[in-house]
Amino acid sequence: MTDAADLVVTDGELHTLGEPDETHAALAVRDGEILRVGNDYDIEFLVGPETTRIDLDGRVVLPGFVDAHTHLTNAGRSLVHADLSTADTASEAVELLADRAAETAGRSAGDDAASADDTGDRAEYVLGFGYDESSWPGGEYLTAADLDPVGGDRPVIAFREDMHVASVDSVTLERHRDAMPDDDVQTTDDADGGEPTGVVVEEAVDPLYDAVEPDRAATRELVEAAQAAATRRGVTGVHDMVRRSHAPAVYRTLDAAGELDLRVRLNYWTDHLDALIETGARTNHGSGLVQTGAIKTYTDGSFGGRTAKLSEPYTDGNGTGQWVVDSEELREYVARADDHGFQFTAHAIGDEAIRAVVDAYEDLTDPETARHRIEHVELADDDLLDRIANNGIVASMQPNFLKWAGEDGLYDARLGDRRGETNRLAAYHERGAHLAFGSDCMPLDPLLGVHHAVNAPESGQRLGVTDALRAYTSGAAYAGFDEHRLGTIEPGNCADLTVLDASPWEQPGAIHEIDVAATVVDGRVVYEDL
């Protein structure tokens, strides 16, 4: 006699998203695994007195979304501090920061009214996250002149959504200027060298992040806030990019306490490589919910900051961007990580940066077996696409970046006629490249990303609904060596599920409007709005 299921889901439209994509009406779960898929009649035989039942009333079920590129604490920061992603103008962003300053006025260490993220010296700072000036009239960054009225004597920092650019007031500049490389501090066009504008990029942003880095209690608050937001959007797993953060300890604490509602893959910065080697950690080590992932580095910056490294100059500015980690240093990182059994992943946005990463991977014996990755891969020509596909390199991409791909968008401003060469999702797919989708928390919303992938401005950027969903499920699972347990709905796989109120196949032009009705992780319902 077969034991009863722990959870039974019936009267749905279940898409396996396998090859081919099959549909079923029902499934049963036991001990966190999918026990059986089939029709309602067959699954009813697995119902026992202790079985939890969910009647879907025709709703769509997909394998759980795996976000292959996140910064979960930053997502949490937008929920705790000023969320500048909602601002449609520079003045609205300033108003949101002013509201945050008023809300936190008088807070200090030990103040019971302070949130966990407002302890110690961090209590002084007025923080905002996620602004995107490219959508504003004029398209100009926030400056010190904009921010000086906000905080009075308090330092004010507004982080651009790409995290490669920050805007600061004069108080912050005075406090941190000495720690900022001159080349990464923007100045006025003054013959005498100019004065800082309050806009800083790349390595000049690092002292700011160090100054406001939350302690462990604060980090837990941010992680819990972001986790709740993620599960509301159908996310069941994340590949989190962590650097000098308490987040890994927080994830493991939540896991041990049974309070972690996401699968977390930790991609550590190269700063951590020595420590990981010394402790004996390797890629894929960990528990069922928290695992060590790749070693990560930057190569270049961002299009938003005009710091992505290009082979041709920017259309709207001088120069071809800059290296954050040059090709020789990159090769050393890649070789050392690979020698010690780590997957490697490199942030590379401009074509020159992408070429440097592909070159470094081609020096290795077997980059495909190691599943080495490139994050973003925004501007790649046909030769680079071929080399990525032929070497089995994982293209970890963010389809929500296609919001910048239209006429008069960010890519148009920065690249001109080359804007159609960005994020060529179809070209990757046609070549059989391993394509994994993530959000970069801009925002953390898989359905928005799928919407952009399906409705991109250029045909070479578009995917069909099924393929776009696969990149956010089985493709992301593959990038994390998890295709044997995640990414498809089939017996033996983990019961990680996303339930949608409507079918993306039936409304491809409005996928971003579909609501998530429930999220299941390891057989547990972690979000429900049925």
**What CATH number did the domain enclosing 44 receive?**
2.30.40.10
307 and 365 fall within a common domain: yes
323 and 413 fall within a common domain: yes
pLDDT tens, position by position, 425-444 = 999 999 999 999 999 999 99
Please name which of 121, 249, 143, 255 lies closest in space to residue 188, comparing C-alpha atoms. 143
345 and 463 fall within a common domain: yes
372 and 264 fall within a common domain: yes
Instruction: Classify the phi-psi angles of 81: left when phi > 0, otherwise alpha if psi is within -120 to 50, otherwise beta.
Output: beta
Amino acid (1-letter code) at residue 41:
Y
pLDDT tens, position by position, 299-345 = 999 999 999 999 999 999 889 999 999 999 999 999 999 999 999 99
Please name which of 481, 483, 515 lies closest in space to residue 499, comparing C-alpha atoms. 515
**Distance (Å, whole) CA 145 – CA 148:** 6
224 and 273 fall within a common domain: yes
Domain termination residue (choose one: 166, 181, 212)? 212
Residue 67, in any domain of the structure:
no
Helix (H), strand (E) at residue 40: helix 40-44
187 and 220 fall within a common domain: no
Whole-number pLDDT of residue 421? 94
Residue 65, in any domain of the structure:
no
Residue 327, in any domain of the structure:
yes
190 and 220 fall within a common domain: no
Residue 527, in any domain of the structure:
no
159 and 24 fall within a common domain: no
Number of structural domains (the chain) is 3
Whole-number pLDDT of residue 193? 67
Residue 75, in any domain of the structure:
no
**Residue 99, domain CATH:** 3.10.310.70
Amino acid (1-letter code) at residue 212:
V
CA 78 to chain CA centroid, nearest Å: 14
**Residue 496, domain CATH:** 3.20.20.140
Measured over the CA atoms of residue 514, residue 520, residue 525 and residue 527, the dihedral's sign is: negative
47 and 109 fall within a common domain: no
* In the predicted structure, residue 404 carries a pLDDT above the cut 90: yes
Q: Are 173 and 156 in contact (CB under 8 A)?
A: no
Residue 529, in any domain of the structure:
no
174 and 87 fall within a common domain: yes
Phi, psi of 436 (to 5 degrees): -125, 135
Beta bridge partners of 199: 167
**Distance (Å, whole) CA 473 – CA 454:** 15
pLDDT tens, position by position, 38-68 = 999 999 999 999 999 999 999 999 999 999 9
* In the predicted structure, residue 184 carries a pLDDT above the cut 70: yes
Instruction: Classify the phi-psi angles of 256: left when phi > 0, otherwise alpha if psi is within -120 to 50, otherwise beta.
Output: alpha
pLDDT tens, position by position, 216-234 = 999 999 999 999 999 999 9
* In the predicted structure, residue 192 carries a pLDDT above the cut 80: no
Domain termination residue (choose one: 182, 212, 242)? 212
201 and 226 fall within a common domain: no
Q: What is the 3-state secondary structure (H, E, C) of 336-359?
A: HHHHCCCCEEEEECCHHHHHHHHH
**Distance (Å, whole) CA 144 – CA 172:** 9
Q: Which domain holds residue 11?
A: 7-58
Residue 76, in any domain of the structure:
no
Please provide the DSSP assignment of 394-444 as one string.
Answer: EEEE-GGGGGG-STTSHHHHHHGGGGGGB--HHHHHHTT-EEEE--TTSS-
172 and 278 fall within a common domain: no
Q: Are 81 and 73 in contact (CB under 8 A)?
A: no
Residue 371, in any domain of the structure:
yes
pTM, whole model, 2 decimals?
A: 0.92
Q: What is the total residue count of the chain? A: 530
Residue 460 CB contacts under 8 Å (≥ 6 apart), including other chains: 420, 424, 425, 426, 427
Q: Are 452 and 465 in contact (CB under 8 A)?
A: no
Domain termination residue (choose one: 197, 212, 227)? 212
Average pLDDT over residues 500-505: 98
Q: Are 483 and 474 in contact (CB under 8 A)?
A: yes
**Distance (Å, whole) CA 230 – CA 446:** 9
**Distance (Å, whole) CA 495 – CA 34:** 5
